[in-house]
Amino acid sequence: MKKIEQKIVPFLWFDNNGEEAINFYTSIFKDSKILEISRFGESGPGPAGTMMAARFILAGQEFNALNGGPLFKFNEAVSFLVKCETQEEIDYFWGKLTEGGEEQPCGWLKDKYGLSWQIIPPVLDRMLSDPDREKADRVMQAMMKMKKIDIRALEDAYAHA
């Protein structure tokens, strides 16, 4: 069977800490590795020997990274959603990715590199799209009070009037 190459690859622009960031990310997610790193030479524009660009895999998904300088910064207009089936998974990714970063409302966080992540259980989408609007509204109200998502609290809100 022929392997299908990923058609769309996220490309992350870092100031000068891209290699540190990809080492951090690949240490967190299973099925992750650095594929290749190209380095600046004597002609720059970055310091010779430092990472210019890299290709890496996170949870089976290919990414590219560039140390492009301070011109552009990450913002919340783009985030990566991590689907977590259990509270243990949520706790793991939340703990790792908020390390040096900041917690934000409704399962969002910003890591120490400024990249935004959503740590969300798929059950949340099912609850919020329930045709029973009272149930869905209770879940929304519960979620709006959270930073890290608490599956049990969402289930309690969903089940009780």
Per residue in 87-120, pLDDT (tens digit) is 999 999 999 999 999 999 999 999 999 999 999 9
Torsion sign, CA atoms 18, 20, 21, 25: positive
C-beta separation of 33 from 25 below 8 A:
no
Residue 2 pLDDT more than 60? no
Instruction: Give pLDDT tens digits for 117-161.
Output: 999 999 999 999 999 999 999 999 999 999 999 999 999 999 985
Q: What is the CATH number of domain 8-72?
A: 3.30.720.100
Residue 1 pLDDT more than 60? no
- Residue boundaries of the structural domains of the chain: 8-72, 74-161
Note the pLDDT of residue 116: 98
Note the pLDDT of residue 4: 58
Spatial CA neighbour of 150 closest among 67, 79, 94, 97: 94
- Angstrom distance (rounded) from CA 52 to CA 42: 12
Note the pLDDT of residue 160: 86
pTM (2 decimals)? 0.93
Q: Is 121 left (phi over 0), alpha (psi -120 to 50) or beta?
A: beta
Instruction: Give pLDDT tens digits for 61-89.
Output: 999 999 999 999 999 999 999 999 999 99
- The CATH topology of domain 74-161 is 2,3-Dihydroxybiphenyl 1,2-Dioxygenase; domain 1 (3.10.180)
